[in-house]
Amino acid sequence: MKFTLIIGDEQETRDFPDETTIKRVLEDMDFPLETVVVKKNGQIVLEEEIIADGDVIEVIKVIYGG
Partner 1 sequence: MKTCTKCGAPEVIIEKKHSGQRLCQDCFIQGTQQKVLKDIRKYKLIDKGDKVLMALSGGKDSVMVLDILNSLYERNIIEMTAVTIDEGIKGYREDGVRIAEDHAKRLGIEHNLVTFKDSFDTTLDDIMTSSSQRGACTYCGVFRRWILNREARDVGATKIATGHNLDDETQAILMNYLEGNIENLTRIGPKTVSRSEKFTVKIKPLREIPEKEVALYVLARELEVHFAGCPYSQESFRGEVGQFIKQLSQNHPTIMYSTLRGFDKLKPVIKKEFTKEFNMGKCTRCGEPSAHELCRACIFCIEINE
Contact footprint for partner 1 (CB under 8 A): 34, 37, 39, 43-46, 48, 60-66
Q: How far apart are CB 51 and partner 1 at their closest, in Å?
A: 16
> What is the C-alpha to C-alpha distance for residues 62 and 2, in angstroms, rounded to an integer?
26
* Minimum separation from the CB atom of position 41 to partner 1 (A): 11
CB 25, min distance to partner 1, A: 18
Instruction: Output 2 or 61, the one with its CB closest to partner 1.
Output: 61
Half-sphere exposure (CA, 13 Å, Cβ side) for 60? 11
Q: Are 57 and 40 in contact (CB under 8 A)?
A: yes
